[in-house]
Structures are given as C-alpha cells and as structure tokens.
Structure 1
C-alpha cells in the first residue's frame, strides 16, 4: 500500500513529524504491518522512539481515530507481541510506561509464548512499572465482563479476584463461560498450573459434582482441563485433578489421545502412578483398563524406553501384559522386536509364564503374525531385509506369518542380548530348537555374531559338532558368510565335511569369500583342502570358477600347490567349467574369471568331453529359455546397433580428416606441386596418413560385418560381433594415433608443446592397449613375461569389479 513503507521507515528512524504527516493522508496506515506483522507502533516501540509513539497516539486521539488507535496498540504481530511487549523485551522503559498508560487492556494480553507485558516487566525487574500496571490494569478490569475476569484471574492465580467474582449470584453461569476456543476458566488455570485457584473454585462451588463435571468439560478439540495441565507440563496440578476427577484420565480428545497417553509420552512417573494406581473405584478401573488396552499404553512406554513408567503401568494394570496393540503385538513381543532389553528383563522376571505364549490365536492370523516373544526378533530381521536371499528362500515372510515352517526361530536371536536373557531364564527352550533340527549356533556363525557364537559355545558346546538338516555344521555356515573370526572360534571343527563332502575351503570358494580363502590356504594344517574333491569331484577352484568369483580364482591359481589340471567326475577342468557354463558373451566378472585362469595356462580336457557336456547343457538351456529367446535376440541387436553407430562415426571422422590434411595444401599458382600436401616429407605426416587410412578401412569393414548381423540369425550375430569388436578396437586405436601425429606435425615451431602432446598421446594410448588386449583376447597371452605385465591390469579391473559389486549390491 502506498505510504505504508514510508510510515514504517519513519517510525523506525524516529522521524516523528514525518510519521504524523503521513498519517494525516491516511490514518489507517497505522494498522498495516510488514512481513512479520509489525506496524509503525511495533517498529517504534522496538527501537524505543518514545516521542514518535507519543505524537502518533496524540494525532490519532485528537482526530477522533480512537478505535484505530486502540486496535493498533492491541494488535499482535506474527509472534503475538503487541507494541508494549516489544518495548519491554528491548528494555525501553519510558516507551513501555507510555504504552501501558494509554491502553491498560494490553497489560494482561498473552503473546504466542503465553507471556503478558506484566510478566515481562516482572522478569525485567521494573518494580515501579509493575505497580503502575497493577493500578491501571485493575481499574481497566473493572470494565471487563465477570466471565472474562474470572478466566484471567484463574490463569494468573488471583485468588482475591476469584473470590470476589464467585460471590455473585450468577457465578454458575460465569464459571461455565467459554472463550472462542471453548476453553473455560478451569482450562486456563490448569494450563498455567494454578492449583490453588482450582482448589478455591472447588471450595466456593456449592456442589462437588458440579466441579467434577466442569473438570470433564472439553474445548473445541475435545481436550479436558486435565489434558491442558499435562500438556502445560504442570504435573502437580494434574495429580490434584486426577484425585478429584479420575474419569478425566481416560477421556480422549478428537484425535483419540487421552491425558494418560500424554503423561506416558512425557514420562511423568508420579502422574502415571496416580492415574493407574490400585486405589481406583471398580467402575473407573474397568473403564480405564478398557481405554488402556485400546490405546496400548504399555506399548507407548516400551516405545519411549521408559522402564520406570512401564513398571508403574504394570503394577497398576497387570492385565495389560496379555493385551496386544492394533497390529497384534503383545508387550513382550513388541519389546523383543524393538530391542528394549531393560524392559524385557523386567517383563520376563515379573511375568515368566508369558515367554512362550503366542500373540494371537489361529483365528486372528489375518490381523497379525502368530508369534511368541522369541519369534519377534526374526520377524524384525526379515522385515528390515537383513536376511540374505538364500535364507529368505528358505523362510519367506508369508511362511513366517502362518507358522508353517519347521525350523525354530530361536536361532535368529543368536546375535542379541534377548537370546541370553531368554535362555538364562528358560534353559529348557533350547530343546525345542534341537527338535526342530536347526542350531542357533549355525545361524549365529552364519550372521557373524561373535558374542553369540562365544556364548553358545560356552553354554552348549555340543552344538559345534551337530549338523542341520542340510548336514552342514556351524563352521560351514561361517564359511558361507566368509567370517574369519567365527572360523577361528570354531577352529576345532575345521576338518569337518558336509554331506556333499565339501570342506570350509570349498564353501568359501563357492560363495566368493576371498579373504577367507586367502586365510585358509595360508594354514599349513589345511594344505590338503586345496586340491580336495567333493562328491562331484569338484575342487575349490572348480566351485570358485563355477560361481564366477575372479578374486577367489586368482588367489587359488597363484597358489603353487593348486593343481589346475584336476578334473571332476564329468572330466572337466576348471577352465572347462567356465567355457561350458558361461554364455557366448560373458559378464565383466566372467571375463575376469577367464583371465585369471588363462594367465596361469589353466589346461582344458579333451574336446570330446567338453562338447558332450556343452551339448547337454545347451539342451537344458533351450528348454528353460524358450520364452526368453526373443528378448535375448533383441538384446544382441541393440549391441550390434551400438557398435555400428560407433564404427560409422569413426569412419566419418577419418574420412573427413583425409581431406583436411595437417598443414593444408599447396595453393601457390607458380608452384608445380599445386594442390599437393604441404608436409608430405615429414615422418609424422606419413604416420598420420597410414593410421588414418587404417582406421577408416577398419571401421568400414566393421560396419559391413555388422550389416550381416541384421539378418536376424542369432548365430550369425554372435559370429559378426566376434569379428567386429577387434576391428572396432583397432580403428579406435588408429584414429587416436592419427590425431596425435597430426597435432605433432603442425607444432614444429613450438617443440616443447609438440613433445608434450606426443607424450600425452602415448600415455593414453598405452592405457587403451593395456585394457584392450586382455579384455578382447585374453587367451592369446601365452608368454609368461607378458602375462606378468598384464597382471597389473587384471588386478585393477578386479578392484573396479569388486567396488561396483559393493555399490550396486
């Protein structure tokens, strides 16, 4: 609005005459505030410009704008502060005195922090101002209706005012008065913790039941005075109100939250004891128990991890131990699920008979899992996705909910203190686990719970020599997860084999646990395991190759004691396993696995054996992948299109470079070599021509080969890609060399720059060759010196592969 900003600026800077001049044009500008709701009075009060405030008030009063003046002085900003609030907050005593004298009704006006100017004056120690405020404020209150006076007096604890108002014959109507939010004087007294005011109102009322009825009254949001007391952190006042009107304890508001729920959330121990104590009337206790079950107050205490409050609840309402929440969880299961160790200790000690009681009967399986408290930890692990895919395939979430699986779930808690608590108090439960055939030690070893493994070994050492339904011992589970520390704990069983005749080295290699493989092959007492065959004749190297674990294969093949010539019962070596089972275009990990085998000259078996196994495997693949053949063909076509696009770009660039030679053409009319290249005798120019020509024809030949791949035959596509990829790689290398030579030859006048370009080009070209040769044709590197040279590249690629696996796992 025009003029409002000018008025605010004048008030801020204390230009009183300019502010009055602006108001003469439009007095309503005094009511317009800035972005935070500050009017000119607010701005002047904050800055302490007493003269500006006085002149603006005088102008508005003298020109019959009294209503505008009063509204402006009573107006609160975004924080609810009036000009009087701001003057006191900023320590401007003279400005505050002026404002309080001209508008006394503001003295007891609350801001958003429930502070009045009188409160601020008291906090600041302005004793004289407080005396003046009480005088003018009391005088002003005489003109307020009695119902409003009672609310203010109750909030401030003015007992004499309350007594004076209650002497009126119409006090019953006054006490029931509600403000714009339907709050009564009792709500205000409760929120501000005025217990004495509440007691006086109770004493002055002729009927005790009438006061109790008022305590059960609610505002527009359904909140009782007791809720206000708890919300305002006035615990002592709330305790008094509970004793007078205990029914208010479980009276819920529009959001379904009762004073009892709020007290538990805030952790008011004495108040919770008063609300749930043993001395309650039978009828009240019945309704309180019903409400406590509906809102699951025990679960609220568990969620807040408040053991003292939980004890108070259970002492007063022990029936809640068997009460589930809306998801079907009883307190003990809920605490186990959330890892509330201290609270679980208390419940197990006080209510041991509930340890094995299920949460719901069979009729309520659609509502919640049919769990015992011991089962809760397993449910949590599955919900949070902490079980790996292998375990999930054995125990799915649906089976878990219906309790159809046979294995006990006690082993899932093997890594938590809850397991120790349960077994220490109920040692007989371990027999249930043994009957189910699954050892808790096996799972603790699999998950790497060192403390759980040590605890179970000390308490039940025989578990180390007991196998599960898969005939695997705990040390085999540890090998599957690659946990070296657990293997060390179970070292006494390191020579045990599972039902497939596999050792811990077999399993570590099978699942690609390279750190464990390295640890095991360095142990002299386990040397026989390196070439040990399982019931299928597979060595650890066979299994690592079949699982495409390049790091494990690399570690095993670098071990001198590892025999790469060993064949399994099908007559296949480790290299045969790879070539038979891997597709024509292997993954990055598969290529690295192949490189690891080829770098040590891993041999093949006879061709007839490999062909027989390959044909048998192909028949199985065709039966399984008929539906995916079209999808596979589309994938190869996309590869062909991508390579053709790159080859076409290379051909285009090199073709253009052939007609835009470095140094240009001879354009002199008198020169007999007009139209010829300027630098044909220089060796870099010759190298440019050769490399550019080689790149062009290689790219063109690559495009022609890939055109054949568009005929749609899968076998033709594979053959085309096999020949096209090396050609494309060669074209890229030649194009890079041509660029390097072209730049080098035209920079002869700047020798240092030309050689820098040459060094940069050679460095990057060396990197391209280093990565290109082993990837596209690893089997051609037969010389041991060359293999050693490229082993650095292999290790770098292996590191990249492992980092990618961690990132995208």
Structure 2
C-alpha cells in the first residue's frame, strides 16, 4: 500500500512537471557550439526557427545571443546570413551582461570584416542608434576600436557615423584621445580626416595633443593640422602640451608645436607658476630650453611661484648645459639682463649659485663663477652665503669640491665672531678613516711583502760556477744582472716601494690610535705613501721585465700593458677623489693660498679646515702619478738603449744568461 502510494506520487502531475527541463531562456549547447564553429546544421537552424517563432532568442551564460557569438569569432558571412533570415534591429543593439553589443564584440576581437558587416547592417536598418550604444564603461564601439588601435574598424565606423567621434565615455575620454594612446596613426588620421567636430577630450582635462607629445612627430602633425588651438589648452594642473613636450625633451616635437602657436604660448604658466622653459631647465633639456628662448626671448624673465627663474631651476637640478645658456649673451641679449639673471634671488633669497651649491654641483657653481658676473658673497634670507651652504654638504668629497671652487673665486662666509663659529671636530671624517684604515694597512703590508720578496728573488737569478773538487755546480751570491742599469733601477724602485709601504702602515696605525681632529693629516700622508709605493712596485716590475727580455714584441706589449693599465688606475682613483672642476680652478686655489694668508686662515678656522689643504694634497697625488708615468717612459728608453748597445758590442742578450 505504501509502495503503491509512493508510485502514484512519483507519477503525479506535479512530479512530472518537476521532472521536465525548465525553459529558462538559456541557449542549448548544440546551438552554442554550432554558432561558435561558424557552421549551422539542420538541428541548429531548427532551434533558431523555434526561437524566432517564439519571438525570443536564447542567450549564453553571459547573455550573448547568436550575433554576439558570431561577431566574437569573426564569422562575417554567418552574421549576414543569420541577420537576413532572423534579423531585426533589436538584435544589433542587444546587450550582454557587460552591455556590449555584437559590434562591441567584433571590435574587441579585432575582426575587421565582421565590423564592416555589422556597420552595414546597422546602416541598412535605418537605426543609427545601434552604432552609438554604450557598454558599462560608457564606451561606444568606436571608443573600443580606437583604444585597441583597430584602424580599419575606426575608419568603417566614422565613415558611416562621424558624430560618434564627439562622444566621450564615463571617464570623459574621447575616441581621438584613445586612438592617440594606442599609437595608431591610421586611426588618428581616420578620425581627424572624417570628423571635423570630433572631441579631443582626455582625463584630467587633457586633450589628445597632451598624449600625442609622447607618441611621435607624425601624430603631433596630424593633430596640429586638424586643430592648432589644442596647443594652447591646459589641463587641470594648468599644463599645456608644450609643458609636456618640454618635460620629455624631444626638440623636434617642441619645434613642431612652436611653429603652430604664437610666441605667447611659451609664457603660459601652470598652477605652480612654471613655464615650459622652467620645466625644460629643471629637467636638463638644454636643446629645448634654447629653442624656447629663441622663440620667445623674454621667457627667460618669467618667475615661478617661488620667485625662481629658469636658471634657478637649472641650478637646483645641477644641469650644467642649461646653465651654460645663461652665460651666453647671444641667448639672453643684453649684458645687463644676463647679470641680473645670474644674481637674481628667489623668495628665499637664494641665487642660482646658492642652489647649485645646495645641489652639490661644483661644475655648475664653477660655470656660474667663471662668468665674472656672479657674486659669491650674497646672503639668502637665512643669512647664509654659498660658502656657508657648502660646509653643510652631507657628502665629504662634494663639500671639498664646492669649497675649493668657492675659495678660488673669493667666496666668503657670513660675518660672525670667529670664537662663535662652530668648530669642526673631525668626527665625520675620522669615523670614515677608522673604517678604511685596517683595509689600507693590509694593502700596505702586502706591497711591503712583495717588495721584500723581490729583493731575494732577483730577476736573472745568480751566477753559476763549477766545483772542481766535487764536480758539482753551485751558485755564487752575485746577481747575473748586477751591472745592468735596468737592474739597478729595479733595486732602487723596489727599495722605495718597501720603505713607503712600511711608512704607510705606521701612519695608518698611529692615525687610528690617535682619534684626534687632526688625524686626517696622518691619514692623508699615509695615502700618499701607499700611492707612491704602489706606483713604485709597478714601475719596478716593468724595469725587471725589461732587464731580462730581448724580444721586441714582448717589450712593446709589456710597455702598453703597463702604461694603459696605470692610466686606468690613475683616472679611476682620480675620478673618485677629485672635484668635478677644472685644473685651472685647483691651481687658482693653490695660488691664492700662498698669496692671501688672511683668506686661507679664515677658511681653516671654519668648520672644515681640511678644505684648505685639499687642493695641495690633490696636487701631490697628481705629481706622484706623473712621476710614475715619467719613470715608466724612462725605463722604456733605457731598455731600448741597452739593447742597442748590446747589439753593437756583440754582448750576450740578457735572456741567454737566464738559467
């Protein structure tokens, strides 16, 4: 009874209805696969016929109808066939879950033939609104085609509906701006040629020319020919396309914009008061700055919100090439304008020289001072001169380079009682010396070891003699090359390397133990000794090599290796310790040090007394290096002379004496 009742419940009307598949409007798998494959069989056509009779077409999981699916896969022939048989304009404008129409799908997939067919079908239907349908981002199919750079799709749509180019998406961006961003010149050309009323709007009130600045000269030309007024439009920050081009530094693009705009465009300043010249100077684009000043000479007078000129911007960035423009009368016109610009102060009272010193740019400071028009004694609003700022540099070598430069051109500190001046305790440099002293001492010991070993293993070995009593060979205690000048040079140089390296070790150990403010003097002396011993051991090796070889090719190769290797070593070390200023400036400091004891005395009394001796120590370093070069060249000439004498006298070659 219970079983029979259960069977009746299972076979009742309600259960039967539940067992039947519910028609929820979803497309069958067979129809979906058939459309995606581009070939509809009889069963698929029957399903579409049934939907057509019912007046409602089935959709996929993302609410794509059969036109969406065919458009995504580029089945242009199938689209035309299906629309002809089942079509209605509502199918063309139907939207999926992302609000994309079939035209959006075809454009996104880049199927030009499918796009062309859909545009033609929309035109034939007489419903232009199909082309203007927007998806969830507010983009028409033209927006999408421009964004992806599909030039053929863009051209197909603007030729049928040019008004689409005036539409913007929900972000306020036009198709033209998107076409520029896609770097598609044909797409930009299609819009600018077919749409005179196209919008050029972009994000943050930019226009298409702002974006084209970074895309190339051809893009710039298309937009300027279409609408030259774009060059004068500013974005939310007040920046024009010329500001953008000046920051990028491409002179050809800046020139193209300048030729399309009046000179007053150069004077436009952004929300921070910066002109295009300020930006070019701050970025170090000297070619752009030169073009801007040539097009609009009075732009050099413009000041930003901080009261700075383009020269302040260049000095703050440490850009030597741009600063050099300000020193040329041909660029700035009258000399009084140049003088006023070079010494102009911003709202903080800083001159370009103050900013160059603060930027730790000795070469820029030197360039400004070499004009003879820049005053090095001007104080800013805090009462600091450029020399005061140089003493506060966080970089030791930059500080020294700046102080050397300013000392060469009579820089002055702020007036104050010397007993109130902050004295330099040497802690910063002493701490750095303590870290390097141990390593340098190890190097010095290694050089001393090599020099000592070389004296016990002399080149050419020792003389040999026969022992008549026992019939054996023995060595005398005399060097084979003892009478050769090259061997004597080797002994002298090797001895010098040994002594100077030992002195360097002693000075480094003593200097580290003293921990006084004046310990930098012993450290500097140790460095000179270490440098001299290193050069001596190199030249000594070359002398020994020249003494034991007669092969000309070997001598030439050895000479080249020694000279070029030593040159690389010298310039590498020099680039690390020397200020980036001219040799003339360094010599000028040394000359002033001897001539003006009052000035150098004041420098020594300030925070960094080591600066007064920096130029002298640099000169000692270069002198030792030059002596090394001269020594190597002298060894080479002496070697050639010895070989010539040996050939004329018929003496045995040095190599024949080797065992």
Q: TM-score, normalised by structure 2?
A: 0.58
Could you tell me whether the CA contact under 8 Å between 1:729 and 1:772 is conserved in 2?
no
Aligned residue number for residue 485 of structure 2:
683
Equivalence map 1:717-756=2 (5 Å): 721-747=523-549, 749-750=550-551, 753-754=554-555
The question of 1:547 aligning with 2:392 is answered no
Q: CA RMSD in A?
A: 6.2
Residues of 2 paired with 1:606 and 1:591: CA distance? 15
Aligned residue number for residue 263 of structure 1:
106
Equivalence map 1:244-259=2 (5 Å): 244=86
Aligned residue number for residue 209 of structure 1:
51
Could you tell me whether the CA contact under 8 Å between 1:479 and 1:487 is conserved in 2?
no
Residues of 2 paired with 1:213 and 1:642: CA distance? 90
1:534 is paired with a residue of what secondary structure?
A: coil
Residues of 2 paired with 1:663 and 1:285: CA distance? 98
Deviations 1:514-556 (A, max 9, x none): 3444444343534442584223887656654553445545655
- Bigger Cα displacement from structure 2, 481-490 vs 696-705: 696-705
Equivalence map 1:430-509=2 (5 Å): 445=246, 447=248, 462=264, 464=266, 474-480=276-282, 481-482=285-286, 483=288, 484-494=290-300, 504-505=310-311, 507-509=313-315
Could you tell me whether the CA contact under 8 Å between 1:438 and 1:468 is conserved in 2?
yes
Could you tell me whether the CA contact under 8 Å between 1:471 and 1:499 is conserved in 2?
yes
Residues of 2 paired with 1:721 and 1:737: CA distance? 24
Could you tell me whether the CA contact under 8 Å between 1:510 and 1:544 is conserved in 2?
yes
Tell me which of 118, 130, 146 is aligned to 1:302: 146
The question of 1:534 aligning with 2:314 is answered no
Could you tell me whether the CA contact under 8 Å between 1:187 and 1:224 is conserved in 2?
no
1:769 is displaced (CA, Å) by 5.6
Equivalence map 1:347-366=2 (5 Å): none
Aligned residue number for residue 697 of structure 1:
499
For residues 633 and 255 of structure 1, do their structure 2 counterparts lie closer, same or farther at Cα, with a shift above 3 Å needed? Answer: farther
The question of 1:567 aligning with 2:377 is answered yes
Tell me which of 405, 408, 414 is aligned to 1:602: 408
Deviations 1:343-395 (A, max 9, x none): 7759996686x959xxxxxxxxxxxxxx55537987999xx9x9xxxxxxxxx
Aligned residue number for residue 241 of structure 1:
82
Tell me which of 206, 211, 214 is aligned to 1:374: 206
Deviations 1:702-738 (A, max 9, x none): 3444445766969688566533332222121011011
1:217 is displaced (CA, Å) by 7.8
Residues of 2 paired with 1:291 and 1:663: CA distance? 91
For residues 680 and 418 of structure 1, do their structure 2 counterparts lie closer, same or farther at Cα, with a shift above 3 Å needed? Answer: same
For residues 453 and 663 of structure 1, do their structure 2 counterparts lie closer, same or farther at Cα, with a shift above 3 Å needed? Answer: closer
Larger relative contact order (C-alpha < 8 A, sep ≥ 6)? 2
For residues 758 and 237 of structure 1, do their structure 2 counterparts lie closer, same or farther at Cα, with a shift above 3 Å needed? Answer: closer
Residues of 1 paired with 2:231 and 2:363: CA distance? 45
1:488 is displaced (CA, Å) by 0.9
Equivalence map 1:619-698=2 (5 Å): 639-640=436-437, 642-666=439-463, 668=465, 674-698=476-500
Aligned residue number for residue 655 of structure 2:
none
Deviations 1:581-634 (A, max 9, x none): 4456326xx777778x49xx8244468869979966989x99xxxxxx8xx998
For residues 614 and 759 of structure 1, do their structure 2 counterparts lie closer, same or farther at Cα, with a shift above 3 Å needed? Answer: farther
Structure 1 unaligned blocks of 5 or more? 1-181, 357-370, 387-413, 623-628, 794-809
Residues of 2 paired with 1:732 and 1:257: CA distance? 76
Equivalence map 1:383-422=2 (5 Å): none
The question of 1:580 aligning with 2:371 is answered no
1:568 is displaced (CA, Å) by 2.4
1:741 is displaced (CA, Å) by 1.2
Residues of 2 paired with 1:236 and 1:242: CA distance? 10
Equivalence map 1:767-778=2 (5 Å): none
Deviations 1:238-278 (A, max 9, x none): 12213416687689999999854442221233333267669
Residues of 1 paired with 2:419 and 2:176: CA distance? 57
Residues of 2 paired with 1:763 and 1:187: CA distance? 74
Residues of 2 paired with 1:467 and 1:226: CA distance? 52
Equivalence map 1:776-795=2 (5 Å): 781=587
Deviations 1:298-330 (A, max 9, x none): 5421223332355489789x79956548xx977
The question of 1:273 aligning with 2:119 is answered yes
* Paired residue total: 530
Could you tell me whether the CA contact under 8 Å between 2:145 and 2:154 is conserved in 1?
yes
Equivalence map 1:57-456=2 (5 Å): 184=30, 191=37, 208-209=50-51, 216=58, 229-230=70-71, 233-243=74-84, 244=86, 260-264=103-107, 265-267=110-112, 268-273=114-119, 297-305=141-149, 306-311=153-158, 321=167, 323-324=169-170, 334=178, 338=182, 341=188, 371-374=203-206, 424=229, 445=246, 447=248
Deviations 1:659-711 (A, max 9, x none): 22112234647699933433333222222222222223333333444445766
Residues of 1 paired with 2:268 and 2:423: CA distance? 37
For residues 702 and 423 of structure 1, do their structure 2 counterparts lie closer, same or farther at Cα, with a shift above 3 Å needed? Answer: same
Deviations 1:557-587 (A, max 9, x none): 6x6x52688432379987x468524456326
Residues of 2 paired with 1:477 and 1:205: CA distance? 66
Residues of 2 paired with 1:640 and 1:731: CA distance? 16
For residues 517 and 296 of structure 1, do their structure 2 counterparts lie closer, same or farther at Cα, with a shift above 3 Å needed? Answer: same
Residues of 2 paired with 1:452 and 1:440: CA distance? 9
Could you tell me whether the CA contact under 8 Å between 2:274 and 2:304 is conserved in 1?
yes
Could you tell me whether the CA contact under 8 Å between 2:99 and 2:134 is conserved in 1?
no
1:478 is displaced (CA, Å) by 4.2
Could you tell me whether the CA contact under 8 Å between 1:448 and 1:478 is conserved in 2?
yes
For residues 445 and 610 of structure 1, do their structure 2 counterparts lie closer, same or farther at Cα, with a shift above 3 Å needed? Answer: farther
The question of 1:523 aligning with 2:329 is answered yes
Q: TM-score, normalised by structure 1?
A: 0.49
Residues of 2 paired with 1:447 and 1:744: CA distance? 57
1:675 is paired with a residue of what secondary structure?
A: strand
For residues 307 and 635 of structure 1, do their structure 2 counterparts lie closer, same or farther at Cα, with a shift above 3 Å needed? Answer: farther
1:674 is paired with a residue of what secondary structure?
A: strand
For residues 277 and 724 of structure 1, do their structure 2 counterparts lie closer, same or farther at Cα, with a shift above 3 Å needed? Answer: farther
For residues 473 and 675 of structure 1, do their structure 2 counterparts lie closer, same or farther at Cα, with a shift above 3 Å needed? Answer: same
